[in-house]
Amino acid sequence: MTDLAADLDGEVFWPRSPGYDDVRRPVNGAYRDVRPRLVIRCRSVSDVVSAVRYVRRTGDRLALRGGGHCFAGRSSTDGVLIDLSGLGGISVVGEVATIGAGARLAEVYSTLHSYGRTLPAGCGPTVGIAGLTLGGGIGLLGRRYGLTCDRLIGVQVVLADGSVVDCAEDREPELFWALRGAGGGQFGVVTVLRFATVPEPLATRVEARWSGGALEDVVSAWQAWAPDAPDELTVNLCVASEPGVPTEATLFGASLLGEGPTRELLQPLVSSADSIELRAGLPFHRLKSTFADPRGVPAVRMRSEFFSHSMSAGTVSSLLAQLAKGGREIAFTAMGGAYNRVAEDATAFAHRGERFLLEHIGAADDPWVDESWATAHVDGSGRVYPNFPDPALGDWASAYHAGNCSRLVAVKDAYDPDRLFTFFQGVS
């Protein structure tokens, strides 16, 4: 370990060393008690090379951490944790952004804003750009511009043998294909990502609320309407319960149109809402910051599935009835638009024909999460978002990768034949 520390620009932390408890904890509270044998905070690509070679030599279990939000705990381990937070540099030349794997979304949006640019990505300010991108990347600009990984034009990767490669459409094309949507940590340690950015738009913030009443009608209307809305409009739906409070539905999202056209488009969906608020003229990075990110801080558990068609009325009724106890939430995310105008085999992200994503979010020890998922699964497509890994899945290969699985296995054989980078849901 002394030799390892001497080779690093970064730092090595081990139990009882100063700073260990600060760096070992992920954002997701469910895994905050996991104690790595060693944490290596990398500040350069050469640090990552040294860390990978060390793990290969010792045979330790390995975890990589960008943001630390993983619902399945993949960014925690009792072995060696490679912390990429020291690789957070961001630069922009023209329309191309070069972003270090340790950058978080708040810094990404803020820096790109100063150049009048942005990326279609998520809302959570502390979510890591690398993990988000490698698993696809769904967000409020996605129906207009596609997944975050659809904007990726180049990646630097440290492979299992310690070599460093740059890949793009014309360099290591199979690896580049696999890195766009299969999930993080599968084929190597990504250190740098290059994106074709988009102009930062002015947006209209959308929020509407319903409490009690005919929430079944709200959910059914959203399923039929939101995935088919114009690409410029993304509105998602959360239905949540708290102890002693009526179950409430919240519609939230963004429109790239002005307030008037946005209100007119939304009218069929929100005419029965208790309240609706539209705030026009927000630069996109400011709009993102207005949406709180409650997930990932407490000890929560989440399961999810994609849907290629609307759920039946009976399924919706059962889901809402099961929400009665407080501290539970189901969240619907609209797909369609640009997400679905890419072939399923064009990138590793195979879920290009889905209408929406449904998440079931509850306390880490609440059996309702499984019960609610099973209720909805009757109508689901069987597909699961790689960024929401689920240890309870049976046929994970089909769920995460569908028809792309065999090609991903071939990439794995070529770039990580000894399976140094292997997680439970990965390409084994």
Give the residue-averaged pLDDT of 118-145: 96
Q: Are residues 266 and 305 in the same domain?
A: yes
Give the residue-averaged pLDDT of 154-177: 98
The pLDDT value recorded for residue 318 is 96
Q: Are residues 14 and 144 in the same domain?
A: no
Question: In terms of residue numbers, what domain contains 19?
Answer: 2-83
The pLDDT value recorded for residue 427 is 54
Q: Are residues 189 and 214 in the same domain?
A: no
Q: Are residues 334 and 188 in the same domain?
A: no
Residues with Cβ within 8 Å of 376's Cβ and at least 6 positions away in sequence, in order, are: 305, 307, 311, 315, 319, 330, 358, 360
Q: In CATH, what number is assigned to the domain containing residue 161?
A: 3.30.465.10
Q: What is the CB neighbour count within 10 angstroms for residue 344? A: 15
Listing from the earlier edge strand, what are the strands of the sheet with 38-41? 11-13, 38-41, 80-83, 62-65
Picking from 393, 405, 426, the residue whose alpha carbon sits closest to that of residue 351 is 405
- For the cut 70, the answer to whether the pLDDT of residue 298 exceeds it is no
**Whole-angstrom distance, CA of residue 35 vs CA of residue 388:** 23
Q: Are residues 69 and 112 in the same domain?
A: no
Q: What is the CB neighbour count within 10 angstroms for residue 335? A: 23
- pLDDT (tens digit per residue) in 179-192: 999 999 999 999 99
In contact, 407 and 346? CB cutoff 8 Å: no
Chain position carrying tokens 């040294």? 50
Chain position carrying tokens 């299992």? 160
Pairing assessment for the beta strands 356-363 and 300-307 based on DSSP bridges: antiparallel
Confidence of residue 317 (pLDDT cuts 50, 70, 90): very high
- pLDDT (tens digit per residue) in 198-207: 999 999 999 9
Q: Are residues 102 and 243 in the same domain?
A: no
Q: Cα-flanking dihedrals φ and ψ of residue 208, to 5°?
A: -140, 150
* 427 domain-assigned: no
Burial label for 26, CB within 10 Å (0-12, 13-18, 19+), is buried
Q: What is the CB neighbour count within 10 angstroms for residue 47? A: 24
Burial label for 126, CB within 10 Å (0-12, 13-18, 19+), is middle
DSSP state of 194: E
The pLDDT value recorded for residue 403 is 96
Q: Both tokens of residue 59?
A: 């045979």
Picking from 83, 104, 124, the residue at the C-terminal end of a domain is 83
Three-state SS for 409?
Answer: helix
Picking from 137, 168, 200, the residue at the C-terminal end of a domain is 200
The pLDDT value recorded for residue 290 is 84
The pLDDT value recorded for residue 294 is 45
DSSP H or E run through 12: strand 11-13
Give the residue-averaged pLDDT of 368-382: 97
Q: Are residues 344 and 212 in the same domain?
A: yes
The pLDDT value recorded for residue 425 is 47
Picking from 66, 83, 100, the residue at the C-terminal end of a domain is 83
If you count DSSP H runs as helices and E runs as strands, how many of each does the chain have, helices first? 14, 18
- For the cut 70, the answer to whether the pLDDT of residue 295 exceeds it is no
Q: What is the CB neighbour count within 10 angstroms for residue 22? A: 9
Q: Are residues 341 and 381 in the same domain?
A: yes
* 409 domain-assigned: no
Give the residue-averaged pLDDT of 19-33: 87
Q: Are residues 242 and 332 in the same domain?
A: yes
Max Cα–Cα distance, the chain, nearest Å: 66
DSSP state of 259: H
* 165 domain-assigned: yes
Q: What total number of domains does the chain contain?
A: 3
In contact, 9 and 51? CB cutoff 8 Å: no
- For the cut 80, the answer to whether the pLDDT of residue 145 exceeds it is yes
Q: What is the CB neighbour count within 10 angstroms for residue 360? A: 26
The pLDDT value recorded for residue 252 is 96
- For the cut 80, the answer to whether the pLDDT of residue 389 exceeds it is yes
* 106 domain-assigned: yes
* 231 domain-assigned: yes
**Whole-angstrom distance, CA of residue 388 vs CA of residue 20:** 27
* 404 domain-assigned: no
Q: How crowded is the C-beta side of 382, counted as CA atoms within 13 Å? A: 9
Q: Are residues 249 and 332 in the same domain?
A: yes
Q: Are residues 230 and 350 in the same domain?
A: yes
Q: Where is average pLDDT lowest: 225-234, 336-345, 356-365?
A: 356-365
* 137 domain-assigned: yes
* 29 domain-assigned: yes
Q: Are residues 44 and 108 in the same domain?
A: no
DSSP H or E run through 23: helix 20-24
Q: In CATH, what number is assigned to the domain containing residue 258?
A: 3.40.462.20
DSSP H or E run through 397: helix 396-401
pTM beyond 0.85: the answer is: yes
What is the overall mean pLDDT for the chain? 93
- For the cut 60, the answer to whether the pLDDT of residue 242 exceeds it is yes
- For the cut 70, the answer to whether the pLDDT of residue 268 exceeds it is yes
- For the cut 70, the answer to whether the pLDDT of residue 424 exceeds it is no
